[in-house]
Amino acid sequence: MLADRSAKAGGGLGGSISDLTTRLDAVLSDDSHGDRARAEAATRRLVGIAGAQRETSQLMAGILKNIVEAAERVQLSSADTPPSIELF
């Protein structure tokens, strides 16, 4: 159950990051700006943003994968063993 919720949340977050990256790439490929120098400066900034976005996306994907794997392990171990209380 927890693993399913984590997977769904991860998918939604990954989709949002992917959409943003796609939009940034579209802006980068559109070279219809009037002022060439200003367009080049904006493009350089957007290239930096897109790169950072890709790195963030990869980092988040790794984190979410680890969370889902941990949740699955907890779910499996909880199903296999009866609950126990340890005070120390």
Tokens 């790169």 belong to which residue?
51
Asked, for residue 47, whether it belongs to a domain, the answer is: yes
Split into its structural domains, the chain has a count of 1
Secondary structure (DSSP) of 6-72: HHHHHHHHHHHHHHHHHHHHHHHH----S-HHHHHHHHHHHHHHHHHHHHHHHHHHHHHHHHHHHHH
pLDDT at 23: 76
Q: Which domain holds residue 27?
A: 2-72
Does the model's pTM come out above 0.75?
A: no
pLDDT at 15: 67
Asked, for residue 35, whether it belongs to a domain, the answer is: yes
Asked, for residue 83, whether it belongs to a domain, the answer is: no
Tens digit of pLDDT at every position of the chain (88 positions): 555 666 666 666 666 777 777 777 776 666 554 567 777 878 888 888 888 888 888 899 999 999 999 988 888 887 666 656 565 5
Asked, for residue 82, whether it belongs to a domain, the answer is: no
Asked, for residue 8, whether it belongs to a domain, the answer is: yes
pLDDT at 63: 92
Asked, for residue 30, whether it belongs to a domain, the answer is: yes
